[in-house]
Amino acid sequence: MARALFNVPKRVRRGELFEVKVLIQHPMESGQRRDDRGAIVPRDIIHSLSCTYNGDLVLRASLFPAISANPFLSFHVLAEKSGTIEFAWQDDQGGSHSESLPITVE
């Protein structure tokens, strides 16, 4: 039931910098914790996240276990033309996820 929340404005003006926020539900198990029996709980994190805008790279993040649970990122994008903001992220389980949001640039 892992959710992801993306905050992307619906419309922006050309040349404007707009803020994008990403919040993904994930325990980001560091691989440092021990369970009740003393055994290490294995590492299980989202290790990569990227954001592209009409196919052009905005940001690529390599995440390590020191990124908090339910990882949050916010950053800025330069508004050029209408299209989509795409997010893609990969985790230790081999999972690959993505989400696309439309954006109107006027």
Binding site for other proteins (CB under 8 A): 1, 3-5, 7, 17-19, 21, 23-25, 27, 30, 32, 34, 36, 38, 52-54, 56-78, 80
Least Å distance between CB 11 and other proteins?
16
Task: Give the DSSP letter of residue 28.
Answer: -
Minimum Å gap between C-beta 93 and other proteins is: 18
Tell me whether residue 40 or residue 106 sits nearer to other proteins (CB atom).
40
Entry field: residues in the chain: 106
The least distance separating other proteins from the CB of residue 105, rounded to whole angstroms, comes to: 12
Distance CA 21, CA 24 (A): 10
Q: Which two tokens stand for residue 13?
A: 């003006």
Q: Are strands 96-105 and 83-91 parallel, antiparallel or unpaired?
A: antiparallel
